[in-house]
Structure 1
Amino acid sequence: MKYCAFLRGVNVKGTNMKMADVCQVFKKAGMQDVGSVLASGNIVFSSDQNAEDLKTTLEKAVSDHFSYEAFLFIKSQEETEIFRNSNPFEKSDDLHIYAFVGNPGVENVLMEEFTKASKTENEKAEIIDNLFYWQVPKGNTLDSSFGKVLGKKNLKDQFTSRNINTFEKVLKKMSSR
């Protein structure tokens, strides 16, 4: 089965790693057809194992190799397509659209935090099929009230986010393998 591992916190705040090195860790852990998409920690691969077992195996392998506490969220090609296809927002050159990959139920935690946060014009969030989507004007991602919530330490093992365009690139890579 084809999967994508979405790593949290890669190449931010001092956690620097080359994707070629991450791919080698995946290969050593027994994954096939391994490749990366962008430098933000999106590793496409094939395996006969289920996602839960893969998460355990790969988090340990990446953590051990890079000497940091790794958090990965494993999604099948079909699940990754749902992230792309369920996007409730219309693409615009002025806006970023993010989808959040995480543990079951995290979408409700994120919506609660979003509801409490102050918002800029055109900043919106929706939950579609238990997936959390966030639209924010370009240039405001890290400065927005909700954007600051995303870095909370108590949430680091709960989710990671990707721009909707990243899902397009991941799916293109999955289809070519």
Structure 2
Amino acid sequence: MKYCAFLRGVNVKGTNMKMAEVCQVFRDAGMNDVVSILASGNIIFSSDKKSDELKKILEKAMSEHFSYEAFLFIKSQKEIENFWNGNPFEKNDDLHAYTFVGNQGVEKVLLKEFENASKTENEDAKIVNNIFYWQVPKGNTLDSTFGKILGKKSLKDQFTSRNINTFEKILKKI
């Protein structure tokens, strides 16, 4: 089965890694057809194992190889299609749309955080099919109140986010 692993915290705050090396760690852990998409930690691969087993294997392999506490989320091709197809926001060159890949139920935590945050003009969030989507004006992603909440240490093992366009690139390669 084809999967994509979404790594959390790659190439930010001192956790730097080359995607070629990450791909080799995946191969050494028994994954097949391994390829990376962008430098933000999106690794497409195939395996006969189930996603929960893959998560344990790959987090352990990444943690040991790179000497950091690895968090990653495994999604099947069908799940990735759901992320792409569920996007509730229309394309707008002045706005970024993000989707969040994470643990079951994290979308409700994120929506509550968003509802309690102050917002910029045109900033919005929605849950579609248990997936959290966030739209924010370009240039405000890290400065917005909600953007700062996303870096909370208490949430670090709960989710990772990607620009919606990343899912299109993954689907083209998968």
Could you state the TM-score of these two structures normalised by the residue count of structure 2?
Answer: 1.00
Q: Equivalent residue for 2:42?
A: 42
- DSSP-derived class of the 1:93 partner: coil
1:69-148 correspondence runs (5 A): 69-148=69-148
1:57 aligns with 2:61: no
1:66-90 deviation digits (Å, cap 9, x = unpaired): 0000000000000000000000000
Q: Equivalent residue for 2:14?
A: 14
Aligned mates of 1:96, 1:136 — CA distance in 2 = 5
Shift of 1:157: 0.1
Shift of 1:125: 0.1
Q: Equivalent residue for 1:29?
A: 29
Aligned partner of 2:49: which letter? Q
Aligned partner of 1:74: which letter? I
The answer for unaligned runs of 5 or more in structure 2 is: none
1:164 aligns with 2:164: yes
The alignment-based identity, stated in percent, is: 77
Regions of 4+ moved over 4 Å: none
Aligned mates of 1:129, 1:173 — CA distance in 2 = 24
Aligned partner of 2:88: which letter? P
Aligned mates of 2:170, 2:37 — CA distance in 1 = 6
- DSSP-derived class of the 1:98 partner: strand
Cα RMSD (Å): 0.3
Aligned mates of 1:31, 1:47 — CA distance in 2 = 6
Aligned mates of 1:136, 1:116 — CA distance in 2 = 16
Shift of 1:164: 0.3
- DSSP-derived class of the 1:33 partner: strand
The answer for unaligned runs of 5 or more in structure 1 is: none
Shift of 1:51: 0.2
Aligned mates of 1:171, 1:64 — CA distance in 2 = 29
